[in-house]
Structure 1
Amino acid sequence: MQIDQQVALITGGGSGLGAATARAMAARGARVAILDFDAGKGAQLAAETGGFSIKCDVANAAEVEAAVAQSIAHFGDAPRIVVNCAGIASAARIVGREGKLALELFERVIRVNLIGSYNVMSYAARAMMGLAPLASGERGVIINTASAAFEDGQVGQSAYAASKGAIAAMCLPAAREFAKPGIRVMAIAPGLFSTPMMEALPPETTAQIAANIPFPARLGRPEEFGLMACQIVENAYLNGTTIRLDGAVRLPPR
């Protein structure tokens, strides 16, 4: 699918991987709807990319339904491209100090990362089904964000790894379900990227983390994630799989 003039809906589009994806799509001519829990950051990216900003908590199905409707009303078209980047990376041991359990954190991570992605995929796919197919038969592309942690999660990442593993696991059945209307479903599993979360760490910690990456021996750049999202959209034969984007890193236990 050519990106030019298509509506692209990006969640978590106000910062990090989402912002880089919004910029990459806009640079290729997409009309970008930026959904973000932080209205200020979303509005800033929308102003930069000529897009449309919508405040949205992806874990709230009613807000997602309303956001998709707002995007359609603004652009006059349903999105043909959806990239789910919204997520949190809260970490805690399953059984912490003094026997404290991390049940509340686990539930929150699952709600934002997994249920949030599912909400957006559901409402976006329903809207895509009403679009006329392109010459190729394609109606749309949905890209969810997993993580390298879904295969080699570290200590304290049980909730995060579970949420991202589920995103990877639902990629194929979702792609099979949406094959008839011509909607592709893919997932990207990024490794260690230079996002606001990583940038908040001390330089020596970042250097130690990057030392585990074989090649290129550095943190991933958000624009490389955005590029991968664009390449998935443009390559019509990519469907139903998860692509690791990680410089060949395999995360150690800690």
Structure 2
Amino acid sequence: MDPETTIKIGFYVIFLLSTTCHEAAHAWVAKLLGDSTAYLGGQVSLDPMPHIRREPVGMVIVPILSLMMIGWPMGYAHIPVDRAWSERYPRKSAWVSVAGPAANLALLLLAVIGIRIGLATETFVAPRTMGEFSEITLTAGSAVGRSFAIFLSLLFVENLVLLLFNLIPVPPLDGSGALPLFTPKSMQRTYADLISQPTFQMMGIIAAWMLFPGIFSAVFMPVVNLVYTGVAHYG
């Protein structure tokens, strides 16, 4: 198998891992706060199969097609929710929305810790220039070391993408679902009705798609520089 194909397969595996953790975090926090719908549906699980069975198009077909066409796995998933519970407890529902991006932040930090340990042990080295997303960190050592470097690089990028994209405050993204934490109680029911409208959700996806490249470009290099603080800096 050629290296490019291997990297694409690895990218898809990391997409599955990251998206599964994202959705499982939503489901777990929902159960903790009183909505067991996703738990009863099997979504409180780090096994990707329950999530794939619920959303086979978004978890398998779309990411594989996008990986083949543009070299990047794009997809989607969601958990079942009790609409009556969400309307009754808008702030609890908002914390459920926060849980998914929080899981991606945890995986991002895990990748950063792994890279920093690799640098400290001289297993990894900082790349001279930032090129491929599979080369956030490099190794001059063994094939095993190179595999770990690629894995951590892709884990870093995938979860930075999921974190930033999902925090855009437009429906149906998690950033929009989290806004009731900051809105007056009197407005929460009206806001929930508004963001549940299909028209606004479609407009939100289009807006997020247009905004994301600029957001990612602005954030990516500063975050990479933080990873290499005291080691290397990039312009």
TM-score interval for Structure 1 and Structure 2 normalised by the shorter chain: 0.3 to 0.5
Q: Whose radius of gyration is greater, 1 or 2? A: 2
User: Which structure has the higher relative contact order (CA within 8 Å, separation 6+)?
Assistant: 1
| Structure with a larger share of its residues in strand | 1
| Structure with a larger share of its residues in helix | 2
Taking structure 1 as the reference length, the TM-score comes to: 0.32
